[in-house]
Amino acid sequence: SNRTFTMIKPDAMKNGHAGVIIDRFIKEGYRIVALKATRLSAEKAGEFYAVHKERPFYGELVAFMSSGPIIAAILEKDNAVTAFRELIGATDPAKAAEGTIRKLYATSLGENAVHGSDSDENAKIEGDFFFNGLERI
Ligand code: GTP
Ligand code: MG
C-alpha cells in the first residue's frame, strides 16, 4: 500500500514541535490524506495500543497517550509504511539515527514524539480508528 498512519504524540505537541514535524512530512514528499487534532481518552488509548496490553509499559503508555492533545494523520507516498518508519527513526530516540524525527524531537523511549504504523494492515486499521470516509481527501 502507499498509505501510513501517524500521530504526533503529546510530548511533541507540548514542546511546540507539531508545526516543524508536519512541515517535515510535506518536505519528505508525503501527501496529507487526512489530518486532525484530537485527544484520546484513556479508554481509547488503551484500545489503540491493545496489542501491547501484556507489556510492562502498557499502563504508562496509555496514561501518556491520553495526557494531552495529539495530531492524527493519514499520509500517502510510495512504500509509505517502511519509508515513514525510516523517517521517524528507532523507538528509543537515543538509538535513532541523526536527522530522524525522533532523534530531533523525542523526549525519551516512552515519550517519543511520533507514531508510525508497522504494517500495511495496521495502517488501514489505525487510519480507520480515527477517520471516516468523509474525512479523507
Ligand atoms: P509506535 O510507532 O508508537 O508504535 O512505536 P514503535 O513501533 O517504534 O514501538 P512499539 O510499537 O514497540 O511500542 C509502542 C510505543 O510504546 C513506543 O513508541 C513507545 O512510546 C512505547 N514503549 C515501547 N517500549 C517502551 C518501554 O520500554 N517503556 C515505555 N515507557 N514505553 C515504551
Ligand atoms: Mg509500533
3 state DSSP class of 2: coil
57 lines ligand 1 (CB under 6 A): yes
User: Is position 112 annotated in a ligand binding site?
Assistant: yes
Which positions are catalytic? 115
CA distance 45 to 89: 22
Half-sphere exposure (CA, 13 Å, Cβ side) for 124? 4
The domains located in the chain, with CATH, are 3-135 (3.30.70.141)
Question: Are residues 83 and 2 in contact, defined by beta-carbon separation less than 8 angstroms?
Answer: no
ipTM confidence score: 0.95
- What is the distance between the alpha carbons of residues 125 and 107, in angstroms, rounded to a whole number? 27
Give the span between the Cα atoms of 99 and 26, in whole angstroms: 16
In tens, the pLDDT along 1-35 reads 799 999 999 999 999 999 999 999 999 999 999 99
The pLDDT, as a whole number, for residue 86 is 98
The segments of the chain whose pLDDT lies below 50 read: none
**Does 132 count as an annotated binding residue?**
no
Residues with CB under 5 A from ligand 2 (ion): 118
Question: Tell me, what's the pLDDT at 92?
Answer: 98
Distance 91 CA to ligand 2 centre (A): 8
